[in-house]
Structure 1
Amino acid sequence: MKPLTEEEIRSSFVNATPEQLDRLPIPGIHETLWDEREFLGWRDPQASHLGYIVHWMHDRPTGIVLRAASGGLRPGIAAMCSFCHSAQPATQVRMFSAPRAGEAGRNGNTIGSYICDDLACSLLIRITPPHAQSAEHIAERADALLSRVHNFTATVMKTA
C-alpha cells in the first residue's frame, strides 16, 4: 500500500458525515508498515462502535466508515472474516455495516459484512495459517483481500 498523509485520509471518506470527519481519530500513520498493508483499518478509541478503512482505489485513497454491531457472534464457534478469509474464534469477527454513499446512505441504506473485529486483516493474512507461507502465497492472499475490500467499497459507493 502506498503511504497516506493525514490530509489524504480525512478527504478520502465516501460515506462519512461532516460530524464524523470533524472527530475522526487518525491512527499512528508514522509507525505504519505500509508495505505490509492492503488497507489501513482502525477502530475509534472514543467511539468503539465505529471503525474506518482507507485503501487505494483507482489511484486515489478511498475511505469508508463502518459501524460495529452491538452484539457479537456466539462464543465457542469458529467464524470467517469476509475480507481476509481467516478462520478464527467467533469473538474476533463482528458484523460491520457501512452507510451507502450519498442520498442512499442519508436515507438509511447500508451494506454489511462480517469482518475481523480489529480490522487487522493485513496482519492476519501474513501470520495465518500457522505453517510457513511462501512470499507468493502471501501475495495471492493480499491480492484476494484487496479485491474483496474494493468490491465492498464499490458497493458502498453505488448510488442506485
Structure 2
Amino acid sequence: MRALTESDVRASFINATDDELGMIEMPHDFILVDWDFHDFLAWRDPASSKRGCVLVEIGGSTVGIVLRASDAGRARSGMCNICHSMQPGNQVALFSARRAGPAGLRGDSIGTYMCADLSCHENVRLAHPLAPNEIRAEGQVDVRLDGTRRRMERFVARIQEEKD
C-alpha cells in the first residue's frame, strides 16, 4: 500500500457518515505502520469495541470501509472468510458493513466472518505447523497472501457497488 496520512484515511471511507468519521480513531501504532508491508490495513477502533475499519487499494485508489462487529459470540471454532484461518469461536466474529451510497442509507449491509481482532494480514503470514514427515511447499505463504488480499478486495468492492 502507499503511505497514507490520517486525512487520507478519513477521506477514503465510502460508507461512513460525517459523524462516524469524527468518532473513528486511528490505530495506536498508526505512525509506525510499514505501508510497504501491507496489502490492506484493518484495525478495531480503540474508541469503540464494536467498530472496525479496513483500507484497501482498489484500482489505484484507497477505499476504506467501516465495519460493525456482532454481539453474539460463537461457542465453536470457526473459519475467517478473509484469511481462511481456523480460530477458536471467540476469535472469529461476524462483521457487517453498510453499503455505500443510497443502498447504505436505506440500511442495506453485507456481512462476513473475520478474525475478531481483524489481524488477518498477520495471521496469514504465520506458517501452519507441520506434521513430522511433512515438507512445507515453497511459495505456500505467498499463495495465502494473494488469496487473503483478493478476498478482502472483493468484500470491499461488494460494499462499494451501487445498488438501487
Normalised to the residue count of structure 2, the TM-score between the two structures is 0.89
* Residue 117 (structure 1) aligned with residue 120 (structure 2): no
Aligned-partner SS, 2:148: helix
Deviations 1:14-42 (A, max 9, x none): 10111011122112222223333221111
C-alpha separation in 1, matches of 2:138 and 2:69: 32
Match of 1:98 in 2: 97
Residue of structure 1 aligned with 2:140, choices 133, 137, 141: 137
Kept after mapping to 2: 8 A contact 1:98/1:111: yes
Query: Number of paired residues?
Result: 158
Amino acid at match of 1:26: M
Q: Which amino acid aligns with 2:160?
A: M
Q: How does 1:11-160 map to 2 (within 5 A)?
A: 11-27=11-27, 28-74=29-75, 77-131=76-130, 136-160=139-163
**Does the aligned pair in 2 maintain the 1:4–1:29 contact within 8 Å?**
no
Q: Which runs of 5+ in 2 are unaligned?
A: none
Identity %: 39
Give yes or no for contact 1:5–1:29 (8 Å, CA) kept in 2.
no
Larger radius of gyration: 2
Instruction: Report the Cα offset of residue 136 of structure 1.
Output: 2.0
Q: Over aligned residues, Cα RMSD in angstroms?
A: 1.6
CA deviations on 1:34-83 (whole Å, 9 max, x unpaired) are 33322111111221110000011111111000000011111xx2210000
TM-score (norm 1): 0.92
Give the deviation of 1:129 after TM superposition. 1.4
Q: Give the letter aligned to residue 54 of structure 1.
A: L
